[in-house]
Amino acid sequence: MNGQDIDVTTTGTVAFIGGGNMARSLVGGLLARGLPAASVHVAEPVAELREALAREFGVVVFADGRDAVVGANTWVLAVKPQVMRTVCESLAAAARSERPLVVSIAAGITTAQLDRWLGGDAAVVRSMPNTPALLGAGVTGLFANTRVDAEGRARADALLGAAGATVWIEDESRMDAVTAVSGSGPAYVFLLAEAMQAAGEAEGLAPDAARTLALHTIFGAGRMLTEGMEAPAELRRRVTSPNGTTQAAIEAFEAGGFRELVARAVRAAAERGRELSAAND
Each residue of 80-93: pLDDT tens digit? Answer: 989 999 999 999 99
CATH 3.40.50.720 fits 3-178, yes or no: yes
- Residue ranges of the chain with per-residue pLDDT less than 70: 1-10
| pLDDT score for 7 | 66
Domain ranges of the chain: 3-178, 185-277
| pLDDT score for 85 | 95
- Report how far Cα 142 is from the mean position of its chain's Cα atoms: 9
Share of the chain above pLDDT 90, in %: 89
Residue 27's nearest CA partner among 40, 10, 43, 12 is 40
Q: Which fold has domain 185-277?
A: ProC C-terminal domain-like fold (1.10.3730)
| pLDDT score for 12 | 84
| pLDDT score for 215 | 98
The predicted model scores a pTM of 0.89
3-state secondary structure the chain: CCHHHCCHHHCCCEEEECCCHHHHHHHHHHHHCCCCHHHEEEECCCHHHHHHHHHHHCCEEECCHHHHCCCCCEEEECCCHHHHHHHHHHHHHHHHHHCCEEEECCCCCCHHHHHHHCCCCCEEEEEECCHHHHHCCEEEEEEECCCCCHHHHHHHHHHHHCCEEEEECCCHHHHHHHHHHHHCHHHHHHHHHHHHHHHHHHCCCCHHHHHHHHHHHHHHHHHHHHHCCCCHHHHHHHHCCCCCHHHHHHHHHHHCCHHHHHHHHHHHHHHHHHHHHHHCC
Each residue of 48-69: pLDDT tens digit? Answer: 999 999 999 999 999 999 999 9
Each residue of 204-244: pLDDT tens digit? Answer: 999 999 999 999 999 999 999 999 999 999 999 999 999 99
